[in-house]
A and B are shown apart, each in its own frame.
Chain A
Amino acid sequence: QSVLTQPPSASGTPGQRVTISCSGSSSNIGGNAVNWYQQLPGTAPRVLIYSDSRRPSGVPGRFSGSKSGTSASLAISGLQSEDEADYYCEAWDDSLNGRVFGGGTTLIVL
């Protein structure tokens, strides 16, 4: 059971906009930055969004992040087939004194 809660799956058609939610508490999302990671099949994860909404260089502008209270969201607009992957949210937890991940969301492009 993960500290951060994500839906196990999400889906959309090419060109569509999809969002993935991440729910936590005041000890993690509510007080610390949220990061999002993308893991393509058979590869290591890579950072997609950091500090709630910032995008590393090289990450397409189609990906965006937001946070409100103890929840965060990852939005992908103009969905493409290569976006099929697992997505994980992550934050520091002040009560556990460590990093916590969401259980991951598998995105399927129909």
Chain B
Amino acid sequence: EVQLVESGGGLVKPGGSLRLSCAASGFTFSAYSMNWVRQAPGKGLEWVSSISGYSSYIYHADSLRGRFSISRDNAKNSLFLQMNSLRAEDTAVYYCTKSGGANPLAPQDYWGQGTLVTVSS
């Protein structure tokens, strides 16, 4: 059974940093692209970043490039999102998702339950 468990969310002050983690199990982690998607309170889904199986291809939303960075550790079946210079508008539930194939363009076929990041003084 595929499982994606996010951690690392919490309350952080504006300008601060946070590193989110996603522990994956139930599939051959390195064979699949992975993604982060966020959802602000009461708002829609917003794609954050995608990474291919061996990190050859990395994509970030234009609005977040330079502040957010995606990475993965295939030996530990883990996905990460480093978030710097956080702003109030980054407050959201952050979902870790698995792509349906090696291609980062593949549909997101599994989603974690999400971790809440709150940016506030």
Contacts and interface: CB of A to CB of B under 8 A. Distances in A.
Interface of A: 2, 32-33, 35, 37, 39, 44-47, 50-51, 56, 86, 88, 90, 92, 96-104
Given A44-B95, A45-B111, A92 B45 contact: no
A46 B98 CA distance: 11
Query: SS class of chain B's interface: helix, strand, loop or mixed?
Result: strand
A98 B47 contact: yes
Query: SS class of chain A's interface: helix, strand, loop or mixed?
Result: strand
B62 interface: yes
Interface residues of B, number: 20
Nearest to B111: A44
Given A88-B45, A98-B47, A99-B50, A51 B107 contact: yes
A6 to B, nearest CB: 9
A97 B111 contact: no
Interface of B: 35, 44-47, 50, 59-62, 95, 100, 105, 107-109, 111-114
Given A37-B45, A88-B44, A104-B45, A47 B109 contact: yes
Contact of B44 (A32, A92, A104): A104
B62 A47 contact: no
Given A86-B44, A99-B50, 6 more contacts: A33-B107, A47-B107, A56-B109, A98-B62, A99-B35, A101-B44
Contacts of B105: 32-33, 92
Contacts of A102: 44
Given A44-B114, A98-B60, A50 B109 contact: yes
Q: Which of B59, B60, B107, B109 has the most CB of A within 10 A?
A: B107
Contacts of B111: 44-46
